[in-house]
Structure 1
Amino acid sequence: MQQTQRIEQRTPEYARREKCAKWMSVILLITSLMEFAVGMYLYFMVTNYYVGAYWSSIGAILGVSIGLVGISYKKEGSSFMRWGVRLITISVLMCICGAIIDGVAAGAADDVDVDRCNYSANKTIVTCGTCRSMVQAETCYCCYLLEDCEFSSQGPKDVPTHIEGVSSCNDVVIYVWLLWISVGFCSLNTVLGVITGAQIGGFNKTARSQPALYVTTAAPQTTTVYVPPPQQQPAFAQQPTGPHPGQHQPYQSPQQYPPATYQMQATSPYHGSQEPPPPYDYKSTAASPEPVVPSAPPAY
């Protein structure tokens, strides 16, 4: 029996595209995970400003993961690579939006002069010139930015008059730096996403157009040895062949005796001109109602 085996032919261009697609996917996955971590930390760092483009890297993480699965399966993973490229393309658009939002928020927060701000660890009423306003606990507030005598929540494009949920006003500086880092990651992921999508798409096209070599090999032949089961004797053959307790053993001629028995019969009184008694008829004896005992030979 013959078996057909499919072997992929790896040309230099095929190997180069596969290597580039894998390395670019790994790099994009690492930067997307870093952007996700930074964005999540920014989103929960303060309680009155919800910025941090962690959501922009979710599409890239999913797209790269699906693309790597398709690359590992090569030609059979063509559908995985197509879906990976689509998700990476969506992630590129999301990273552009995230970079714009975080960049606007970072530019607005960068105008805050923390040296002219104060910090309140408890919820209290503070005095800013002629204005008295309520601030929450763990808040860095800036009176010189106050206009309507009230610290109200503002949008990312507005200069923040107060930032809640920080341990000191120095955390505002860290917050601004993290916003700029998030902008940098979003911009980097935009460029890497375009390159990675192109590399995965190019490898997918190369893998689908790559000719396959089919090799026919002979399957190993297996020899089956038939072992017959042990033969069992029938029940009637397993019964003892000796005479029934109510019967007598029939007469046997001297030729039927073993050597020792024959020698003993040679010295018996039946020799010479005398003839031995006729053989015992066990059939007629078995048919008679009473067993017939043959008479003993005369003793001399």
Structure 2
Amino acid sequence: MENKSPEHVHCLIIGSGPAGYTAAIYAARAALKPVLYQGIQPGGQLTITTEVENYPGYADGVQGPEMMVDFEKQAVRMGADIRFGLATKVDFSQRPFKVEIDEEKELTADAVIIATGASAKWLGLESEQRLNGFGVSACAVCDGFFFRGKEVAIVGAGDTACEEAVYLSKLATTVHMIVRKGEDGMKASKVMQDRVKATPNIKVYWNSETIEVVGEQKVSSVKIRNNQDGSIVDVPISGFFVAIGHQPNSDIFKDYITMDEAGYIQTVPGSSRTNVEGVFAAGDVQDKTYRQAVTAAGSGCMAALDAERFLSAVGHV
């Protein structure tokens, strides 16, 4: 960070999903003159989602990328300064905080809102990425509705995978659950394992892995290999869900911000405050429980209000 005269920002927002844009809307209306850097994926995870039907206010549903454009337009109309750029380094050891953008531009900020989100972990298959949004999803709660009355598959062995399998079982005719290890290798709690086993339309494939998600314009089947005998089955499905976890985008903050063992930023309960006074966190980077657009937007509102109160208390408003 050698820029001799860094730009100073009153309220800096890092990230541009529902949390970041909502924080920008509220901060702009509070005359905090927010500057928001969109990061490597402007709009966040919703830009790789197709139809969104569970966000209030969109009676007929909306495409994920379109919704994020709407959020951005509203933030700009309120006066937020929205910019392309990725935060690559921070120094939260003292105020004003220092943030480096794209490894070259230095900023200082009186308050920072972290809304960098989380990224779904994927299996790494070419077919999985090609059909992402066309039957492949990393969020059963978001997209399960579209597979009502159809057969689906889900990959994973933890509590989230089990919860999503049970959720999908109420919508789909059959849920094919692919587990890499045997029953003794399940990471999920016993109560969740028992719930899966007690659900008649969940079929578990133990010691198995996905070879390929089959389909041209949409998912048509999944090829599953049994790692014990090498046999391969081709199971007809319409939806393929990956539930092997999420990775919060929090690495650049780890020297200053308290996180849990998985890298999720820990906030003071009932607030967006982190362990560093003047730094706030909102959205999926601090929420491993709900991970919905509407909850992220709500926490973005909280972060902006918390930032406004902080800046007022230290005499910057």
Normalising TM by the smaller chain, what interval?
A: under 0.3
Is the helix fraction higher in 1 or 2? 1
Is the strand fraction higher in 1 or 2? 2
TM-score by length of 1: 0.24
TM-score by length of 2: 0.23
Structure number, greater radius of gyration: 1
Higher relative contact order (CA 8 A, sep 6+): 1
